[in-house]
Amino acid sequence: MYKLNCIGILTSGGDAPGMNAAIRSVTRAAIFNHIRVKAIYRGYKGLITGEIKEFHTEDVSNIIQRGGTILKTARCQEFTTPEGRKIAYETMVREEIDALVVIGGDGTFTGARIFAQEYNVPIVGLPGTIDNDLCGTDSTIGYDTALNTIVEAVDKIRDTANSHERLFFVEVMGRDAGFLALNSALASGAEAAIIPEEQTNEEQLEELIKNGFRKSKNSSIVIVAEGGGGATALAERMKRDYPTFDARVTILGHLQRGGTPTAYDRIIASRMGVAAIDALLDEQRSVMVGLVHDELVLVPFTKAIKDDKPINKSKIGVLQILSI
Ligand code: F6P
């Protein structure tokens, strides 16, 4: 049995709604199991600079409903270097931190995997990213909230699109993943979704929009995943080829990352936080807690960060049928 008297917790990478619910859950589950908790600020940067504070149950009161992360977050360049990780390890030893719970996305787990290997540190991850691009989990903490935020925004764009009889390209986040784009397109009744997992057939898209306008529609909305030029480039090409389209672009940007987490995100964050402490007590290491068919699972970091999370492409067919 290895020593587990004290854990460190941090959030890293892009923030995601529900991270606070996860911090609360990890902290309370640890204390419930008589394990001390040290909060590390600004992600891996805090491990290097020593920005650390002991957490008690009251430190995580009244945060379950708050967006962002009370621990702050950062993308830490220094931690990608062996020198940076050495300082981080020295901080852990000094602070008597036996294991880490890291909440973040693929960058966070990539760093965790290397650090765990180099210094034999037990680390368990929680998937915290709006992108939903981690393998081995049906959903990541923050994805559901971001999806709902997008749908609410598109509903509003629809009002003005309709009044002006315009075509709107709405760009959503997701780095190299189309989960937010495809599912928000379905939920908001958009004509199409342009996602990185599927080659864009621009002729087909133009045809679809033209037909829509020719028939009953007086406005159209296309959701575009960021990357690959994004919505602006696509709109430019469409305007060049079809000058008659009155096209506009809306980039939703970072508003997608903010806001009160949905009930779903709070629930999975709470369950995953408890599971992270159970996993550490069970001497698991270098694994992410995932959720598959509503059951908690442990996924090795190496698998979680693979780039090939499958997206259900049958949804594209549903979109096409519904956009006639
Ligand atoms: O990974 C989360 C995410 O919001 C991506 O969807 C997006 O590409 C990226 O972070 C933006 O990062 P930043 O806030 O550092 O610009």
**pLDDT (0 to 100) of residue 227:** 76
> Taking all residues of the chain, what is their mean pLDDT, rounded to a whole number?
94
Residue type, 106: D
The band of 242, judged by pLDDT with boundaries at 50, 70 and 90, is confident
**pLDDT (0 to 100) of residue 151:** 98
What single string gives the DSSP state of each residue in 42-56? TTHHHHHHT-EEEE-
Sequence-ordered list of residues with C-beta below 8 angstroms from that of 319, at least 6 positions apart, any chain: 182, 185, 186, 190, 191, 192, 193
Examine the pLDDT at 215 and tell me if it is beyond 70. no
Residue type, 74: A
**pLDDT (0 to 100) of residue 209:** 78
Taking the CB of residue 95, how many other CB atoms lie within 10 A of it? 16
Q: Do 193 and 316 contact (CB within 8 A), yes or no?
A: yes
Q: Which of 15, 106, 131, 133 is catalytic?
A: 131
Q: Do 142 and 225 contact (CB within 8 A), yes or no?
A: no
Over its C-alpha atoms, the chain yields an Rg (Å, rounded) of: 22
Q: What is the best residue among 131, 141, 149, 171 to mutate for testing ligand 1's pocket, by most ligand atoms within 8 Å of CB?
A: 131
Examine the pLDDT at 245 and tell me if it is beyond 90. no
**pLDDT (0 to 100) of residue 294:** 98
Which of the two residues, 252 and 209, has the higher pLDDT score?
Answer: 252
Q: What is the best residue among 140, 176, 252, 257 to mutate for testing ligand 1's pocket, by most ligand atoms within 8 Å of CB?
A: 257
Q: Do 234 and 194 contact (CB within 8 A), yes or no?
A: yes
Atom number in ligand 1 closest to CA 180: 6
The band of 53, judged by pLDDT with boundaries at 50, 70 and 90, is very high
Which of the two residues, 52 and 235, has the higher pLDDT score?
Answer: 52
C-alpha torsion sign, points 178, 182, 188, 192:
positive
Q: Do 55 and 273 contact (CB within 8 A), yes or no?
A: no
Atom number in ligand 1 closest to CA 133: 1
**Rounded mean pLDDT of 66-93?**
98
Examine the pLDDT at 1 and tell me if it is beyond 70. no
Per cent of the chain over pLDDT 70 is 98
Residue 130 Cα to ligand 1 middle (Å): 9
Which tokens sit at 227? 């990357």
Residue 68 Cα to ligand 1 middle (Å): 13
**pLDDT (0 to 100) of residue 308:** 85
Which residue's alpha carbon is at the smallest distance from atom 7 of ligand 1? 175
Residue 253 Cα to ligand 1 middle (Å): 9
193-197, 210-214, 282-286: which range is least confident on average? 210-214
Q: Using alpha carbons, select from 27, 274, 298, 22 the residue that is nearest to residue 137.
A: 298
**Rounded mean pLDDT of 60-68?**
98
- For the whole model, what pTM was predicted? 0.96
Tell me whether residue 265 is one of the annotated catalytic residues: no
Q: Give the E-state strand segments of the chain in sequence order.
A: 6-11, 36-40, 52-55, 99-104, 123-127, 167-172, 192-194, 220-225, 247-251, 287-292, 295-300
**Rounded mean pLDDT of 154-178?**
94
The band of 324, judged by pLDDT with boundaries at 50, 70 and 90, is confident
Q: What is the best residue among 19, 73, 129, 173 to mutate for testing ligand 1's pocket, by most ligand atoms within 8 Å of CB?
A: 173
User: CA dihedral defined by 313, 317, 320, 324, rounded to 10 degrees?
Assistant: -160
Taking the CB of residue 211, how many other CB atoms lie within 10 A of it? 13
Tens digits of residue pLDDT in 9-38: 999 999 999 999 999 999 999 999 999 999
Q: Which residues line ligand 1 (CB under 6 A)?
A: 14, 105, 129-131, 173-175, 226, 257
**pLDDT (0 to 100) of residue 228:** 65
Examine the pLDDT at 216 and tell me if it is beyond 80. no
